[in-house]
Amino acid sequence: MSSSGIEVRIPTILRPFTAGAKIVTGEGATLRDLIADLGKQFTGLEERIMENGALLRFINVYVNDEDVRFIGGLDLALNAGDKVTILPAVAGGASK
């Protein structure tokens, strides 16, 4: 199974890590591998997406428009041509 050439859309807040690039390309057999690959290409990016092996609560990751939290999370298998979108959650509120 090939999984190279996966397009990843980077949100504004993470573009400092990609020299301003809005779309980058990575590879990986799973989403976890892809994020690790992005971390190798762009220093510091992985820590802004994951912590202690899990996705950060305030980061949403979509594969082909599906929120990965509902379709297998970081272990989701990826295929060449998949499209990944990273977005910061828009959330907050008066609590604490």
Nearer to another protein, 1 or 43 (CB): 43
Based on the shown chain and the rule CB under 8 A, indicate whether residue 67 belongs to the binding site for another protein.
yes
- Which residue among 1, 52, 53, 95 contacts another protein (CB under 8 A)? 95
- Among residues 26, 28, 44, 63, the one that binds another protein under rule CB under 8 A: 44
The full DSSP string for 5-41 is -EEEE--GGGGGGGTT-SEEEE--SBHHHHHHHHHHH
Asked if 17 is part of the footprint of another protein (rule: CB under 8 A), the reply reads yes
Q: Is 87 in the site for another protein (CB under 8 A)?
A: yes
47 lies in the binding site for another protein (CB under 8 A): yes
The tokens for 60 are 């949403």
75 secondary structure, DSSP code: G
**Residue 9 · residue 84 · CB < 8 Å:** yes
